[in-house]
Structure 1
């Protein structure tokens, strides 16, 4: 414990009044030496929390905190008071005029889903200054006040719906086997074509987010006698640190294992033995002339999915999340166990988002209106 130090290159956190009061109580109860050691343990806990929190979570909270700061400046409210009135007013402001630039249709208000994210981040930032990179002590936000702001947001969303105003992009269209067949038919045997097919087929089978194939290395995709084992380490939660297995498919045209092997063999043949290294990126950006460029990033993965689906003539536009929702909805249709689907895709079991992907496709096969006309 005596060797605990702040992380390299990081300034020690300022001691807050709350921490000082806590250490003082410890000293009164247990003595000065014990209090000092308990304070060191608090510093270690803070350092561990900062180390394990995903960078994209920090980034999201920090960006949303700036929205809260804009609101407080406009209303001349202190940024460190999350009262019932301030939070409800924040919700109304987010939906009415919160955006700095007009969104679709020239609307200045956020979509309700975005407003929820900003509200949650403001509550987190008030309660935990370090989560949003602000100095100072935590500011209490009661559960009742936070709940009332969320109820207000739900009610205002209903009013928008009644006023026939729709905001946001909605849920991503789910990939499905028909789409996979169309994509397989549209992918040629060029290096780019083989990469496209491997990206889509493997991503579908482990319900990939756009960030996940972008974060994979060659060593993270292991070929085994029964198929592939993908070591996914770039997800947002503990459930996303997983090793999903992808078996060989019975149909060669849409077999993710064979598509991956063919792509990596073509990559080495085209670009040299460096691409057989375990540390080589799993997926590369390939330009229009077939030249291998740098690793494919999350935005590149999203754009590739859109482009590949459009080239295949899929009538409803796929997005970067279509592969993820596709595994859940297709797995449910095929009678797969919900727990197995959750484990494969890195959802928490009984995740609301996963269940939402499943439920929106129900009601078509056993539909009261089907076949009436």
Structure 2
């Protein structure tokens, strides 16, 4: 029986089967509201709670939802393998979970990298709590301590897991990419995606989220309005100047791509509300806007086609701007502002150190 404000007020309330479930907690709230403020007020408060839930769902990034769903499936596979009840989390089951993930958790029977196991642990705990389970901070801390301790033992045993840091794009790679792009709409899209993405230090989700109206021409180049921030969202206006070398000029590449898209598929693609970067199938049909996964796959494919020694990932353009700009003597604050990093960001400084560590090296020239 669904508990409403009316039934709560009348006392005709069926006891929930799971006393500590989120639904039961909401029902208990409605009962208290009805007692304190009357049925009508309780109904309005319940509607406000429903609205708050809908807003929370709407503002949660798709990739966060996707991560939670994937991690919950990992938790379910563990529970099936260990023959443990899924909707239950104890200190022992969480420690067993991280142990299983490092040992054999992947579907191919191999162990996860510690960073992936950590993500799955955190997201599985969220999933358990969303389903009304109580997960104590101490139990979660015990699992995390076990994960950290076991992760230390992996390299001691000669194991190296995870892909490590992605390779960074560089100017030679950009030239190779530009040369390798075919004279097709897909080739023009690939060139624009790579060259513009490098100059505003794109993550894979950045071009996927751009609309045509977010990229505007300026007498000196392009202005790209990039949505940035994981928790506090804002827009940075990255300025991209015309390049001295026309072959790798991001402004010319963008203009050529958009002109060809409108010529071949109609002027509607010039509308500011359309996706900036579109998916294109093998027959040249436009399939809609690109998503982060398709951007990542495209960057990898583009770099392979160009013969880049180490294939790029969706993060290579971002790493590349930081490292190449530093090598060219650009100020760290200017780099941070262009790429949307916090000033003195650890990740940005880490990308720079990959190059600085060769020139500004304590052991250089000692022998």
Q: Given the two structures, how large is their TM-score scaled by the length of structure 2? A: 0.79
Seen in structure 2, the aligned counterparts of structure 1 residues 34 and 277 have a Cα distance that, compared at 3 Å, is closer
**Offset of 1:200 from its aligned partner?**
0.8
Q: CA deviation at 1:361?
A: 4.3
In 1, the alpha carbon distance for the partners of 2:232 and 2:339 equals 8
- Could you say which residue in structure 2 is the equivalent of 1:16? 23
Answer yes or no: is 1:99 the counterpart of 2:100: no
The CA deviation at 1:89 is 1.4
Decide whether the 8 Å contact of 1:242 with 1:346 is kept in 2.
Answer: no
Match of 1:58 in 2: 65
Report SS of the residue matched to 2:359: coil
Tell me which of 101, 110, 113 is aligned to 2:112: 110
* Superposition deviation, residue 51 in structure 1: 1.4
User: Using the alignment, how far apart are the partners of 1:269 and 1:231 within structure 2?
Assistant: 25
Deviation, 1:368, is 2.5
In the TM superposition, residue 124 of structure 1 has moved relative to its aligned partner by 0.9
For structure 2, the 5+ residue unaligned runs are: 1-20
CA contact (8 A) 1:246 1:256 kept: no
Distance in 2 between residues matched to 1:264 and 1:100, nearest whole Å: 41
Gaps of 5+ in 1: 1-13, 103-107, 130-136
Contact residue 229 and residue 243 of structure 1 kept, 8 A: no
User: For residues 31 and 281 of structure 1, do their structure 2 counterparts lie closer, same or farther at Cα, with a shift above 3 Å needed?
Assistant: closer
- Counterpart of 2:168? 174
> Corresponding residue for 2:86?
79
Q: TM-score, normalised by structure 1?
A: 0.78
Partner of 1:89: 96
Checking the alignment, whether the CA contact within 8 Å between 1:179 and 1:314 is kept in structure 2 is yes
Note if contact 2:193-2:277 (Cα within 8 Å) is conserved in structure 1.
yes
Report the alpha carbon displacement of residue 191 of structure 1 after superposing the two structures with TM: 4.3
Q: Is the 8 A contact 2:239 2:338 kept in 1?
A: no
Q: Distance in 1 between matches of 2:232 and 2:349?
A: 16
Matches of 1:210 and 1:45, distance apart in 2: 30
- For residues 342 and 221 of structure 2, the distance between their equivalents in structure 1, rounded to whole angstroms, comes to 25
Give the SS at the match of 1:231: strand
Paired residue for 2:301?
A: 307
Which residue matches 2:230? 237
- Structure number with bigger Rg: 2
Q: Write the distance in 1 (CA, Å) between the matches of 2:260 and 2:50.
A: 50
Deviation at 1:53, TM superposition (A): 1.2
**Superposed CA RMSD:** 3.2
Q: Distance in 1 between matches of 2:263 and 2:366?
A: 57
Contact 1:191 1:267 in 2 (8 A): yes
Distance in 2, Cα, partners of 1:292 & 1:301 = 17
CA distance in 2, matches of 1:29, 1:348: 48
| Distance 1:266-1:15 versus aligned 2 partners, 3 A rule | closer
